[in-house]
Chains A and B, each alone.
Chain A
Amino acid sequence: DAGVIQSPRHEVTEMGQEVTLRCKPISGHDYLFWYRQTMMRGLELLIYFNNNVPIDDSGMPEDRFSAKMPNASFSTLKIQPSEPRDSAVYFCASSPQSGSREQFFGPGTRLTVL
């Protein structure tokens, strides 16, 4: 298995632009998570899905952030409009619906908003 795939790996954009981050979870996994990692705030859960349905979006910072999961093999995290304070590494993780509870992380997308 290729593991969790994220694209792009690096994104540099200007303030005000729309940014879309993409994630392909491990096949057969029922849970998908989006995290943000910064030096100041550490690792924060933004939102997670179960069987493509959003379960908890309480970590989404504000209305500029949105996430979708149109099918079991694809999810997007969109920021519109982007701001410099959104600069961070964004991770996607997936997990099977089993007793293991292990989350498998992708390599991350490093976002820089100028």
Chain B
Amino acid sequence: AQSVTQLDSQVPVFEEAPVELRCNYSSSVSVYLFWYVQYPNQGLQLLLKYLSGSTLVKGINGFEAEFNKSQTSFHLRKPSVHISDTAEYFCAVSARRSNDYKLSFGAGTTVTVRA
């Protein structure tokens, strides 16, 4: 089974400052990794994903993440945040098996951007 730990439950940040959200995973098999964002009263939306290839992944809205296999981490970063980035962010993991589409989510990190 796979599991995800998001190390920060709340991250307050000032507008135009950088932000990093930490994610560590546990799995006995190779994995795919994802970051989703949830704006208030909405469903989740994919920010970016790592399936294979380059370990630095770029996503929507200026976000990027780096897969580190030795550290079993997939931290999310943005160099300069906007007020509109206020949301909850979820890291998720899926086993790298052809017919296994199950996602396991972390507990989420709430990002609050202040002017």
Which A residues lie at the B interface, using CB under 8 A?
4, 31, 33, 42-43, 45, 48, 50, 56, 91, 93, 95, 99-103, 105-108
Contacts and interface: CB of A to CB of B under 8 A. Distances in A.
B42 A43 contact: no
B106 to A, nearest CB: 8
Contacts of B36: 105
A66 B62 CA distance: 40
Interface stretch (B11-19, B21-29, B44-52, B69-77): B44-52
B103 to A, nearest CB: 6
28 contacts: A4-B43, A31-B101, A33-B101, A33-B103, A42-B107, A43-B105, A45-B104, A48-B101, A50-B99, A50-B101, A56-B102, A91-B44, A99-B51, A100-B49, A101-B49, A101-B51, A101-B94, A101-B101, A102-B34, A102-B46, A102-B49, A103-B44, A103-B101, A103-B103, A105-B36, A105-B43, A106-B43, A107-B42
Nearest to A6: B43
B90 interface: yes
* Most interface-central of B46, B99, B108 (chain A CB within 10 A): B46
B63 interface: no
B101 A42 contact: no
Interface residues of B, number: 21
Contacts of B102: 45, 48, 56
Contacts of B101: 31, 33, 48, 50, 95, 101, 103
Given A43-B90, A45-B102, A91 B51 contact: no
Most buried by B among A42, A91, A103: A103
Nearest to A41: B107
A91 B43 contact: yes
Contact of B103 (A4, A45, A50, A99): A45
Contacts of A106: 43
Output the residue of B44, B51, B90 with the most chain A CB within 10 A. Answer: B44
A95 B104 CA distance: 15
Interface in B53-101: 90, 94, 99, 101
A105 B51 contact: no
